[in-house]
């Protein structure tokens, strides 16, 4: 089994497994955030639960961070190895003739997402850690909604978020079906999978974009 994960195929299976984990996380994240559009209370309740439940905080959160870091590190490692597999580049290469832009540029869409995550951590996660564990403020179950709203006041941040989400969409447009293919799941399900993948890659980022715009115009 350890040999398996050292093989090229093992690595892409690992990539796919971490991708699945992150894609499930995205569904959860967008669902919770969408609550903020419908009901301030519901959003606060959900956020409070997430922010204080020990299972989420001390088990799920580290796993998630590990998943993100693993996906990125593995992505880079593979990219470097793959680059080495062609020591002399083509003078003329017409990649567009046989593959999508998304599939050829996962590393770049991934990098944008990485940059976004840094921004996102600065915006939410570090203040949150600071609030809870460093300064040790008492928990206020109603604070989440306002914190969220405040972030989307500035148009530049909204714009940055939207760009990042578009890139996320492009990343997912290839990544969704690619993860299935890596796990060997395509037989006879290709069309259905592609449709689901497309829907997923459009709806998830669209959800986030909608939330950002909604709060920008409704604060």
Partner 1 sequence: MNLTLKIWRQEDSKSKGRMVDYKVTEISEHMSFLEMMDVLNEQLVNKGEDPVAFDHDCREGICGMCSMYINGEAHGPDRGVTTCQLHMRMFKDGDTITIEPFRATAFPVIKDLVVDRSAFERIQQAGGYISVNTSGNTQDANSIPISKHAADEAMDAATCIGCGACVATCKNSSAMLFVGAKVSQYALLPQGQVEAADRVRNMVAQMDLEGFGNCTNTGACEIECPKGISLENIARMNRELMKASI
Q: Which residues bind partner 1 (CB under 8 A)?
A: 1, 3-4, 7-13, 78, 81-95, 97-100, 103-104, 106, 174, 177-178, 181-187
Q: Which is nearer to partner 1, 160 or 183 (CB)?
A: 183
Nearest partner of 18 among 93, 59, 75, judged by Cα: 75
Q: How far is the CB of 188 from partner 1 (least distance, A)?
A: 9
Q: Which is nearer to partner 1, 100 or 130 (CB)?
A: 100
How far apart are the C-alpha atoms of 104 and 174, rounded to whole Å? 9
Q: How far is the CB of 114 from partner 1 (least distance, A)?
A: 17
Q: Which is nearer to partner 1, 146 or 190 (CB)?
A: 190
Q: Which is nearer to partner 1, 110 or 205 (CB)?
A: 110
Q: How far is the CB of 187 from partner 1 (least distance, A)?
A: 6
How far apart are the C-alpha atoms of 60 and 74, rounded to whole Å? 20
Cα 190 to Cα 171, 175, 208, distances in angstroms: 19, 14, 27
Q: How far is the CB of 67 from partner 1 (least distance, A)?
A: 19
Q: Which is nearer to partner 1, 10 or 51 (CB)?
A: 10
Greatest C-alpha distance within the chain: 62
Q: How far is the CB of 77 from partner 1 (least distance, A)?
A: 10
- DSSP structure class, residue 99: S
Q: Are 50 and 56 in contact (CB under 8 A)?
A: yes
How far apart are the C-alpha atoms of 148 and 170, rounded to whole Å? 25
């Amino acid at each position: 089994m350890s040999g398996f994960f050292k093989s090229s195929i093992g690595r892409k299976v690992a990539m796919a497994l971490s991708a699945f984990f992150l894609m499930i996380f995205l569904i959860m994240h967008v669902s919770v955030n969408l609550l903020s559009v419908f009901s301030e209370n519901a959003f606060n309740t959900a956020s409070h639960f997430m922010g204080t439940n020990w299972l989420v905080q001390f088990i799920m959160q580290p796993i998630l961070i590990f998943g993100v870091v693993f996906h990125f590190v593995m992505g880079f490692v593979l990219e470097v190895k793959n680059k080495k597999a062609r020591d002399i580049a083509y003078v003329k290469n017409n990649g567009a003739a046989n593959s999508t832009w998304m599939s050829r540029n996962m590393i770049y869409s991934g990098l944008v997402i990485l940059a976004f995550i840094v921004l996102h951590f600065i915006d939410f996660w570090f203040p949150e850690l600071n609030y809870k564990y460093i300064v040790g403020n008492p928990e206020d179950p109603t604070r989440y909604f306002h914190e969220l709203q405040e972030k989307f006041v500035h148009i530049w941040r909204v714009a940055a978020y939207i760009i990042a989400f578009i890139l996320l969409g492009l990343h997912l447009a290839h990544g969704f079906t690619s993860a299935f293919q890596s796990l060997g799941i395509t037989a006879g399900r290709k069309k259905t999978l592609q449709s689901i993948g497309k829907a997923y890659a459009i709806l998830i980022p669209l959800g986030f974009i909608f939330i950002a715009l909604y709060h920008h115009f409704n604060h």
